[in-house]
Structure 1
Amino acid sequence: MRVNILIAPSANRVYGLAAPRLAAAELEFVLAESAPGALVETSEVREANLDFLALEIDDEAWESPENQRALTSSLAYSPHVYAAFEEVGRMPAPNAERSYVDESPTLPLLQPIPLPNVDLYPSTLLSTLKYQGKTNEQFTALLLHLAAHAAGKAEALRDGTLRVLDPVAGRGTTLNQALMWGLSPVGVDLDKKDAELYRAFLKSWMRENRLKHTTSDTKLTVSKKALGKHFHAELSRSKSEQRAGKGQSLELYTADSTGLDAFLKARSADVIVADLPYGVQHGSKVGANLRRSPLELLRKALPAWSRVLARGGAVALAYNRHTTPADDVHAIVEEHGFELRGEGMNFRHRVDASIDRDIALARKA
């Protein structure tokens, strides 16, 4: 069977141009993990003056309810999928010149594929905060989606139990995406200004959307040593959800990410999603100092990150190839006991003249 996908529009024109290719790589990876053998191939096609990403699905695999669920779930969580249709036949194109039947122009008969709604909140959670250097929301969702499947945690993503850590949280783009999907994320960042702006935004957004919520701000102290600050939020969409214990939580630590294993429990995260500093406009923070080398941050921080990651957990690292060579990223990851995943999948794409962005996926052995 063939599934034709309309690619979701993007506010970023450059990212939008790369979206069909990124969607193909994304779906090839996540379906290979969740429904092996179901996806035969992908291709870009044009029908009735519309561009589609076409997925050829093995007919026998499609008969499995588990594979159907994996496919519709993968499409629902993909930030690149606007709508999906099963091609159930062909029909003669109207007003087209006809010769032999086999040569007559045709159009596909498309039946919409119902996809589960995976977003819990209004899009303002993702789009309201705007600032220089903010990561594209679609790319953030791509990182999180890939990480969940690299860890073999597709079911945990769906049921809200996936434990997400962003050790370079910045102003919370990844944290917000995790909240949007019903998860309870943890973030760490040393930048006090970024942390304060994010806390202020989240508190305001929860009030404006009338969520049932509580927050607290406390000092982060370990063995009588002050390490920073800890922000905690509990939120629910309604009183009934709150009473039923169906709410979410968020933790944000304003502290040094290279030592986060001092205040986070060992093996307390299933996935680590990190948009590493690109070393262009924004430096990377190592201890109290600002450095320009993202590799220095990765070398120093990865041991602590690994200790809080569960066995079989995965990391999804976004980096800038102009300042962070891919071979160096892969070498550091493998030195710390990770196995690279998704090799051969092309997630590389241009952001601007100074940022050539790529993704490293790896699983903890």
Structure 2
Amino acid sequence: MQQYAILISPSANRVYARTAARMAANEIRVFSAHALDGAIVDVEETVFGGVPYLVFCSDSLTARDFRLLANLSSLYALFAVRGSMLEPVGIERLDRYDDDLISILKYVGKTNEQFTKLLLNVTAATALAPDRILGGGVKVLDPMCGRGTTLNQAAMYGWDGFGVEVDKRDFESYSAFVQRWLKDKRLKHHAVTSRVKREGRAVGQRTRVEFAATKERHRAGDLQVLEFVNADTLRSGEVFKRASFDLIVTDAPYGVQHAAVKDTRALTRRPTEVLEAAIPIWSELLRPGGAIGLSWNLFTTARADLAAMLEDAGLEVMDSGPFLDFEHRVDQAINRDLIVARKPR
């Protein structure tokens, strides 16, 4: 059986870097179980020439499988192990744009980009067939999108990203960033900002941007969409139609830097209450067979409680194997984990 070695990408976040190999190992296990028919085995950390690597074995990986694995969140380089030698394996990522779309925007409370990519990856692998992941046309919602890290990662993959954000400053900052970035890259695009109304009542302000990675794609009508709304996440069901999204992915409030606004418009720092109210609304927006991926602070909400909320909303929680080993410390006030739940077909 052929052994492969992954050189883990260096992380700008030193805390996350300490757990990156374990996180990546579990990401690979999710891909293997849900997208690769169990083709990968014996995932473990090892050292070659004093450099740490993540290794795994497989004797049945196809070109399509390697295209999937090329998008692992912490993959820097891939090698086939040949005795004591490492033979580089060419990788073809989904990325359509320069990576500064993900990295250039810096602000307090921004989720680590590698973790955002991991959360999107494991949610997609759980819900979507490999050809669907690679083929595009996927619609992703982040109902607490902040300044758009998840939306930008979806755009990198050629997918459509939609978001809801209650903080007007974040909404305006992200709107300005996206349009400036597209202009700087000289990418053809069209942006419209408008009011969202339902039954004569204002729900929020919306920015919709349509764009393409190349002039050829634009002429062919192969457009991507980034659409985000300044509104309370509890009004997401008024903003978007039911069963609109393949994936819902969000980094939930930690109860530290983040907060959320409830229907009373009173500011709360009780993330559990926000999730309890929001998850049924989000579930209605998910297509049958789609999946929700959430990350959250274990210091504010127990995993069992969050799993119960998802199950009460009619979702099937992934609660075995690698899904139970993504917990990691962010700082002294945040112990982060992720959970994925699928909507029955």
For Structure 1 versus Structure 2, the TM-score category normalised by the shorter chain is over 0.9
Cα deviation, 1:290-326, whole Å, max 9, x if unaligned, reads 2111111111111111111001110100000011111
Report the equivalent of 1:359.
Answer: 338
Specify the structure having the higher radius of gyration (Cα): 1
1:289 and 2:284 correspond: no
TM norm structure 2: 0.95
The superposition leaves residues 172-229 of structure 1 with CA deviations (integer Å, 9 ceiling, x where unpaired) of 1111111111111110111111100100111111111111011000010111111111
2-side partners of 1:241 and 1:2: how far apart?
38
TM-aligned CA deviation for residue 342 of structure 1: 4.9
Aligned equivalent of 2:167: 191
Indicate yes or no: 2:134 matched with 1:158.
yes
Of 180, 188, 206, which aligns to 2:182?
Answer: 206
- Amino acid paired to 2:34: E
1:317 is aligned to 2:311: no
1:28 and 2:29 correspond: yes
Provide the rounded CA distance (Å) in 1 between the counterparts of 2:114 and 2:8.
Answer: 12
* Offset from partner CA, 1:96-135 (integer Å, 9 cap, x none): xxxxxxxxxxxx2222111113211112111111111100
Matched, 1:6 2:1: no
Corresponding residue for residue 263 of structure 1: 239
Aligned to 2:285: 308
- Looking at structure 2, the residues matched to 289 and 165 of structure 1 have their Cα atoms a distance apart, in angstroms, of 25
Question: Given that residues 31 and 74 in structure 1 are in contact (C-alpha distance below 8 angstroms), is that contact kept between their aligned partners in structure 2?
Answer: no
Residue 49 of structure 2 is aligned to residue 48 of structure 1 = yes
CA distance 1:344–1:289, shift in 2 (3 Å):
farther
- Once the two structures are TM-superposed, the CA of residue 259 in structure 1 deviates from its matched residue by 2.2
Could you tell me which residue of structure 1 aligns to residue 73 of structure 2? 79
- Tell me if the contact between 1:189 and 1:253 (Cα under 8 Å) persists in the aligned partners: yes
Q: Contact 1:78/1:145 (CA < 8 Å) preserved in 2?
A: yes
Say whether 1:69 aligns with 2:64: yes
Q: 1:55: Cα distance to partner?
A: 0.3
Query: Structure 1 stretch 257-266 or stretch 181-190: which is displaced more?
Result: 257-266
Equivalent positions of 1:123-272 (< 5 A) are 123-272=99-248
Asked if 1 retains the 8 angstrom alpha-carbon contact of 2:68 and 2:134, the reply is no
Q: What is the percentage of aligned positions where both structures have the same residue? A: 41
Q: Map of 1:87-98 to 2, 5 A cutoff?
A: 87-88=81-82, 90=83
Distance in 2 of aligned mates of 1:4 and 1:135: 27
**Paired amino acid for 2:297:** N
Q: Aligned equivalents of 2:11 and 2:172: distance in 1?
A: 29
Amino acid at match of 2:237: D
Instruction: Please report the TM-score for the alignment, with normalisation by the length of structure 1.
Output: 0.90
Kindly provide the amino acid, as one letter, of the partner of residue 246 in structure 2: D
The answer on whether the counterparts of 2:139 and 2:247 sit within 8 Å (CA) in structure 1 is yes
User: 1:163 deviation in Å?
Assistant: 1.1
Secondary structure of the corresponding residue to residue 234 of structure 2:
helix
Paired amino acid for 1:355 = I
1:238: how far off? 3.0
Query: What SS does the corresponding residue of 2:137 show, helix, strand or coil?
Result: coil
Q: 1:354 to 1:114 in 2, by over 3 A?
A: same
Partners of 1:37 and 1:214 in 2: CA distance:
43
Structure 1: distance between partners of 2:3 and 2:319 = 24
Query: Does residue 279 of structure 1 match 2:255?
Result: yes
* Other-structure match for 1:96: none
Q: Distance in 1 between matches of 2:225 and 2:272?
A: 31
* Contact 2:35 2:129 (C-alpha < 8 Å) held by counterparts: no
Contact 1:29 1:342 in 2 (8 A): no
What is the SS of the residue equivalent to 1:327? Answer: helix
Q: What is the alpha-carbon distance in structure 1 between the residues aligned to residue 29 and residue 68 of structure 2?
A: 10
Kindly indicate whether the alpha-carbon contact (under 8 Å) linking 2:208 and 2:225 is maintained by their aligned counterparts in 1: yes
Contact 1:284–1:291 (Cα < 8 Å) also in 2: yes
How many residues are matched? 340
The reply to whether residue 347 of structure 1 matches residue 326 of structure 2 is: yes
**Any idea what the Cα deviations from partners look like across 1:144-188, whole Å, max 9, x if unmatched?**
111111113432221111110100011111111111111111101
- How far residue 344 of structure 1 moved from its aligned partner, in angstroms, is 3.3
Instruction: Give CA deviations for 1:18-48 in whole Å, capped at 9, x if unaligned.
Output: 0000000000011111112311221111111
Structure 1 residue ranges without an equivalent (≥5): 91-107
Alpha-carbon distance between aligned partners in 2 of 1:289 and 1:193, rounded to the nearest angstrom:
18
Q: How does 1:108-123 map to 2 (within 5 A)?
A: 108-123=84-99
CA contact (8 A) 2:141 2:162 kept: yes
The secondary structure found in structure 1 opposite 2:235 is helix
SS at the partner of 1:170?
coil
Over the residues paired in the alignment, what is the CA RMSD in angstroms?
Answer: 1.3
